[in-house]
């Protein structure tokens, strides 16, 4: 991880915002699915994608909340192209319905930004392992699709903002939402990442995960286990 505020090889740092890392990038013609898009990092990612011309599909559990966010963003960015679709990632029935509805829509899919806050530490490890195995399989099949994982950093919450000591200390070590969403926006849109796959990013730069997260055999085992859980009985 780069020292907070120090720029890495990409030219960006932990303090860089999602708008800054996508400055000058034209995403017109791209379609993205953003999960968890009704709040936090997902909401900011949706806003910045829309600002750069990307057609965003907000995949949200609470459709009403998603529509409220869409309304707020389109008020700020009149040219924003945003649709809201229901998706509950904790339900395979919901996931399958979302996939079916999306396929039926005829829309292309250029970008998928997936994040999960369930059992945070374990889910982050699983995401890195899954992404690495997905990237390996795509490359082996000669498919021109890239898959990368990332850590957004520690984000200051609304709760901390009202705690004087935590808020004062936190501003030096924690990110706001605009900074927290930057790495996923960087990985998704920046030309520096074009063609890059199977990598792990932190603070808008390539990084190295834990040795456990780089375990190839564990990644394969997780992939097979996931298939056993998700295949229709």
Residues known to be catalytic: 114
Distance (Å, rounded) from C-alpha 24 to C-alpha 7?
19
Residue 231 per-residue DSSP state: S
The helix/strand/coil state of 230 is: helix
**What's the burial of 23, exposed, middle or buried (CB within 10 Å: 0-12/13-18/19+)?**
exposed
CB 203 within 8 A of CB 187: no
Strand 55-60 versus strand 81-86 pairing type: parallel
Q: Which helix (H) or strand (E) holds 159?
A: helix 158-161
- Give dist(CA 143, CA 194) in Å, integer: 14
Q: Is 112 helix (H, G, I), strand (E, B) or coil?
A: strand
């Amino acid at each position: 991880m780069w020292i907070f505020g120090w720029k890495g090889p990409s030219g960006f740092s932990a303090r860089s915002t999602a708008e800054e890392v996508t400055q000058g990038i034209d995403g017109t013609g791209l379609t993205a699915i953003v999960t968890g898009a009704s709040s936090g990092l997902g909401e900011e990612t949706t806003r910045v994608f829309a600002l750069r011309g990307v057609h965003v599909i907000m995949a949200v559990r609470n459709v009403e909340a998603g529509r409220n966010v869409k309304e707020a963003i389109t008020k700020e960015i009149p040219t924003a192209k945003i649709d809201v679709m229901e998706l509950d990632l904790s339900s395979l029935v919901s996931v399958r319905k979302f996939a079916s509805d999306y396929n039926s829509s005829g829309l292309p899919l250029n970008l998928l930004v997936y994040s999960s806050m369930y059992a945070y530490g374990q889910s982050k490890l699983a995401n890195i392992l899954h992404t690495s195995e997905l990237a390996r399989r795509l490359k082996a099949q000669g498919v021109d699709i890239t898959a990368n994982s990332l850590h957004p950093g520690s984000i200051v919450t609304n709760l901390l903002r009202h705690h004087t000591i935590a808020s004062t200390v936190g501003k030096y070590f924690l990110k706001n939402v605009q900074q927290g969403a930057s790495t996923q926006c960087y990985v998704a849109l920046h030309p520096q990442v074009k063609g890059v796959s199977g990598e792990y990013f932190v603070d808008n730069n390539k990084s190295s995960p834990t040795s456990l997260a780089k375990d190839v055999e564990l990644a394969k085992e997780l992939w097979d286990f996931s298939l056993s859980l998700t295949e229709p009985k």
